[in-house]
Chain A
Amino acid sequence: MRPVYAVSGGVSKFAKARPDKTFQGLVKEAYDYALADIGIDHPQFLELVDGTIASYFSDHFTRQLMAGIMAHDYLGMSPKPSHRVEGGGATGGICFQEGWKAVASGYMDTCLTFGFEHMSHVETWKGNEFIALASDVSFDYPVGGFYSGYYAMMVTRHMAEFGTTVEQLAHVSVKNHINAYHNPYAQKRQRLTVEDVRSAPMVAWPLTRLDICVMSDGAAAVILCSEEGLAKLEKAAGRRLPRVRVTGIGRGTDAMRMADRPHQSLEDFYKYNALPNEQNDEARAYYKDLWDKGFRYPGVHSFRAGRMASYEAYKNAGITDPLNEIDFVELHDAYTSSEIQTYEDMGLCRYGEGGPFAVSGKTFMPGLDYGLNLPEKPACPVNPSGGLIACGHPVGATGLMQAVFALWQLQGTIEKHFGDPALQVPDARRGAIHSHAGTGTYVTVSILEQEK
């Protein structure tokens, strides 16, 4: 596989409704930003780009089949090769990785990945129905198809297994909303308190409206290049561009009906799922104790797909101690609970420690006032952009939005793009992006690194 560089990106403004633009218009916004940022124009880029990959989740929202080619065509990319990818909430993350594959394999030197969702075409409750159609329509959807309900069941199990509290969940919401306060692309920029989160209307016990991301209209685009592709872009731009390399990708899956997920033994966990930082006597003793108390893996409290995506990505990028070797993570926090579960899947802490880890301070940004009593210093800021909860979740764009924000962190250009330096992670050299679908059916993890 050849080295792959993330060279430039753009994000449209995410909003509850963007009736001012069709999906093509939203993609064009993100695309134009990505080109402007490297200082080349569309005719120049057309000479250099080999093809595109389109990302959008739902034909129902778009009310249009083959919308991928329509956006590709609107950008003027025809007759270059393109295809659309779809994988629920992870669609954007999958798109990024398919772009990586196109370049790494030698098929393309320059690949444009773009994604969008136009969710405001329907009311929220109808949107919930469309999203719930991404659960088994024979067995899950008819019982009360509602994704927030599915995730809430996972929360109650996490609470019962580990004693996780709703206040710990609320800390994630406070962190991500306050981070987003400094991100002009975010949909919700609010200074919340734990009390605000808990007193918000209950949606699916114990998750309140402020534990859950909102629906959005938006688009994002990322340009990926081989060394040759990058050299050509630099020639067109007339300057050297910052080197941010995608050093590892990983993807995992699990059963669509979460009821079907296994409850494995400790031996199988260690054989198939344990990360390198869990291969020591202390961790083994910790996990033996969990299993002795009745814990089984992954059950419905953990995302095995997220663990396997991390496992593969870390292996490719040579990461053995994620908390200390990754400078920040942009992860899929469609629910505050998913962020806590994902800390564990990604090995930032051990399974069962996600709740205390969420309130430790380690995942917060340095230098921001959260109004919380955090005992420890930031170690690996999680969702410095504000995540899905605050930025919004236009499904097909989300995973690519994470890639753009991660790219800007690693370029050290957050202030330039946000007009505010508050969210720049100091000395960010390596970041992880994590995209997640359907109660953990598809999960992608990609590692991006600054290269001097």
Chain B
Amino acid sequence: MTNKKEFPKRIEDNLEGTIAFSVPFPTGDDLSVLKQMSPIVVKQPYSIDYNYSYGQDSPFFAALANGRFIVSRNPKSGYTYANPRGHDMYTGTENEWVEIKPEGKIHAFTVCHFGSETFLPECPFILILVEFEGCDTLFLARLVGVDPDSANIGWIGKKVKGRFLRNSKLKPTDIYFNLAD
């Protein structure tokens, strides 16, 4: 006997495509029942690879890739941004790059137990804003090597020290922080 493949009478609902069988629709001329119809929901995948430029901020990432940490200082006023910033917001003039030791204190923190899809596998993770001596603004980074379940307000003020990823990914996470003590 030949093994004849049998087609199923009904294909179960799924969200995987737009080819559907047996979508209910009135057979007669009365279409008023369509007002009671459930909505049709389809899946639409969406994916993009951007060719994203760091532009004038690129030297910051080059520095991280070489295990160095540079900040933006205004030569006129001395105002120093811990984050890259091409121009000063007060004088409007161009900033210069200055190398500092990535050592400072925790200004604020949180432990993320949930997050964006991209970062879900990394939960729980700790975010900190770091205060550096000689910088007027703060720096956002990850704190590593601390038990996320021990979060308490006493973390604020603790000394931290930056460490660099061995293999740069050209992202701001190329630097992360540990407690210094």
Q: Decide if A145 touches B116 in the complex (CB within 8 Å).
A: yes
B172 CB-CB contact with A under 8 Å: yes
- In the assembled complex, which residues on chain B have CB atoms less than 8 Å from the CB atom of A259? 82-83, 129, 137-140
Q: Decide if B116 touches A157 in the complex (CB within 8 Å).
A: no
Q: Decide if B137 touches A261 in the complex (CB within 8 Å).
A: yes
CB nearest to A165 among chain B residues:
B153
Point out the residue from A19, A132, A201, A260 that lies within 8 Å of B116, measured CB to CB: A132
Point out the residue from A123, A205, A257, A263 that lies within 8 Å of B110, measured CB to CB: A205
Q: Decide if B127 touches A142 in the complex (CB within 8 Å).
A: no
A91 CB-CB contact with B under 8 Å: no
Query: Restricting to B77-136, which residues have a CB under 8 Å from any CB of A?
Result: 81-85, 89, 107-120, 122, 125, 127-129, 136
Q: Decide if A204 touches B172 in the complex (CB within 8 Å).
A: no
Q: Decide if A144 touches B137 in the complex (CB within 8 Å).
A: no
Q: Decide if A139 touches B116 in the complex (CB within 8 Å).
A: no
B41 CB-CB contact with A under 8 Å: yes
A14 CB-CB contact with B under 8 Å: no
B151 CB-CB contact with A under 8 Å: yes
- Please measure, in the bound complex, the distance between the C-alpha atom of A369 and the C-alpha atom of B46, giving whole angstroms: 48
CB nearest to B156 among chain A residues:
A160
- In the assembled complex, which residues on chain A have CB atoms less than 8 Å from the CB atom of B138? 258-260, 300
Point out the residue from A19, A205, A258 that lies within 8 Å of B39, measured CB to CB: A19
Point out the residue from B44, B54, B108 that lies within 8 Å of A138, measured CB to CB: B54
A359 CB-CB contact with B under 8 Å: no
- Please measure, in the bound complex, the distance between the C-alpha atom of A72 and the C-alpha atom of B173, giving whole angstroms: 43
B141 CB-CB contact with A under 8 Å: yes
- In the assembled complex, which residues on chain A have CB atoms less than 8 Å from the CB atom of B109? 153, 156
Q: Decide if B108 touches A156 in the complex (CB within 8 Å).
A: yes
Q: Decide if A142 touches B173 in the complex (CB within 8 Å).
A: yes
- Please measure, in the bound complex, the distance between the C-alpha atom of A202 and the C-alpha atom of B111, giving whole angstroms: 9
Query: Restricting to A142-168, which residues have a CB under 8 Å from any CB of B?
Result: 142-146, 148-150, 152-157, 159-160
Q: Decide if B156 touches A149 in the complex (CB within 8 Å).
A: no
- Please measure, in the bound complex, the distance between the C-alpha atom of A206 and the C-alpha atom of B171, giving whole angstroms: 27
- Please measure, in the bound complex, the distance between the C-alpha atom of A206 and the C-alpha atom of B122, giving whole angstroms: 18
Once A156-B109, A260-B81, A263-B136 are accepted as A-B contacts, the answer to whether A125 and B117 lie under 8 Å apart by CB is: yes
Point out the residue from B82, B116, B155 that lies within 8 Å of A128, measured CB to CB: B116
Distance (whole angstroms) from the CB of B168 to the closest CB of chain A: 13
Q: Decide if B41 touches A201 in the complex (CB within 8 Å).
A: no
Once A143-B141, A154-B108, A260-B85 are accepted as A-B contacts, the answer to whether A19 and B172 lie under 8 Å apart by CB is: no
Q: Decide if A142 touches B137 in the complex (CB within 8 Å).
A: no
A140 CB-CB contact with B under 8 Å: yes
A126 CB-CB contact with B under 8 Å: yes
Once A63-B44, A300-B107 are accepted as A-B contacts, the answer to whether A203 and B57 lie under 8 Å apart by CB is: no
A129 CB-CB contact with B under 8 Å: yes
A262 CB-CB contact with B under 8 Å: yes
- In the assembled complex, which residues on chain B have CB atoms less than 8 Å from the CB atom of A282? none
A47 CB-CB contact with B under 8 Å: no
* In the complex, per-residue mask of A283-305: 1 if CB is within 8 Å of any chain B CB, else 0: 00000000000000000100000
Query: Restricting to A297-337, which residues have a CB under 8 Å from any CB of B?
Result: 300
- In the assembled complex, which residues on chain A have CB atoms less than 8 Å from the CB atom of B139? 259
- In the assembled complex, which residues on chain A have CB atoms less than 8 Å from the CB atom of B129? 153, 157, 258-259, 300
- Please measure, in the bound complex, the distance between the C-alpha atom of A160 and the C-alpha atom of B129, giving whole angstroms: 14
Distance (whole angstroms) from the CB of B39 to the closest CB of chain A: 4
**Size bracket of the A interface:** 35 or more
- In the assembled complex, which residues on chain A have CB atoms less than 8 Å from the CB atom of B128? 153
B73 CB-CB contact with A under 8 Å: no
Q: Decide if B172 touches A149 in the complex (CB within 8 Å).
A: no
- In the assembled complex, which residues on chain A have CB atoms less than 8 Å from the CB atom of B122? 144
- Please measure, in the bound complex, the distance between the C-alpha atom of A137 and the C-alpha atom of B140, giving whole angstroms: 13
Point out the residue from B52, B85, B107, B172 that lies within 8 Å of A157, measured CB to CB: B107
Q: Decide if A257 touches B153 in the complex (CB within 8 Å).
A: no
Q: Decide if B120 touches A125 in the complex (CB within 8 Å).
A: yes
Q: Decide if B140 touches A143 in the complex (CB within 8 Å).
A: yes
A20 CB-CB contact with B under 8 Å: yes
Once A148-B112, A149-B110, A203-B114 are accepted as A-B contacts, the answer to whether A20 and B39 lie under 8 Å apart by CB is: yes
Distance (whole angstroms) from the CB of A130 to the closest CB of chain B: 8
Once A140-B140, A259-B83, A259-B139 are accepted as A-B contacts, the answer to whether A203 and B113 lie under 8 Å apart by CB is: yes
- Please measure, in the bound complex, the distance between the C-alpha atom of A421 and the C-alpha atom of B124, giving whole angstroms: 44
Q: Decide if A262 touches B136 in the complex (CB within 8 Å).
A: yes
Which residue among A140, A159, A204, A258 has the maximum number of chain B CB atoms within 10 Å of its CB? A204
Distance (whole angstroms) from the CB of A142 to the closest CB of chain B: 5
Q: Decide if B151 touches A149 in the complex (CB within 8 Å).
A: no
* In the complex, per-residue mask of B37-59: 1 if CB is within 8 Å of any chain A CB, else 0: 00101001010000010100100
Q: Decide if B117 touches A63 in the complex (CB within 8 Å).
A: no
- In the assembled complex, which residues on chain A have CB atoms less than 8 Å from the CB atom of B82? 259
Other 13 A-B pairs with CB < 8 A, given A142-B171, A153-B108, A259-B83: A20-B39, A63-B46, A125-B114, A125-B117, A144-B125, A153-B128, A153-B129, A157-B108, A160-B157, A205-B111, A255-B89, A260-B138, A300-B129
B-side residues, CB < 8 A to A, are: 39, 41, 44, 46, 52, 54, 57, 81-85, 89, 107-120, 122, 125, 127-129, 136-142, 148, 151, 153, 155-157, 171-173
Would you list 29 pairs from A and B whose C-beta atoms are within 8 A, ordered by A residue?
A20-B39, A128-B116, A138-B54, A140-B140, A143-B142, A144-B125, A144-B142, A145-B116, A146-B115, A149-B112, A149-B127, A154-B108, A156-B108, A156-B110, A156-B156, A157-B107, A157-B108, A160-B157, A203-B114, A204-B111, A204-B112, A204-B114, A206-B151, A257-B83, A259-B137, A259-B140, A260-B81, A260-B137, A260-B138
A-side residues, CB < 8 A to B, are: 19-20, 63, 123, 125-126, 128-129, 132, 137-140, 142-146, 148-150, 152-157, 159-160, 201-207, 255, 257-263, 300
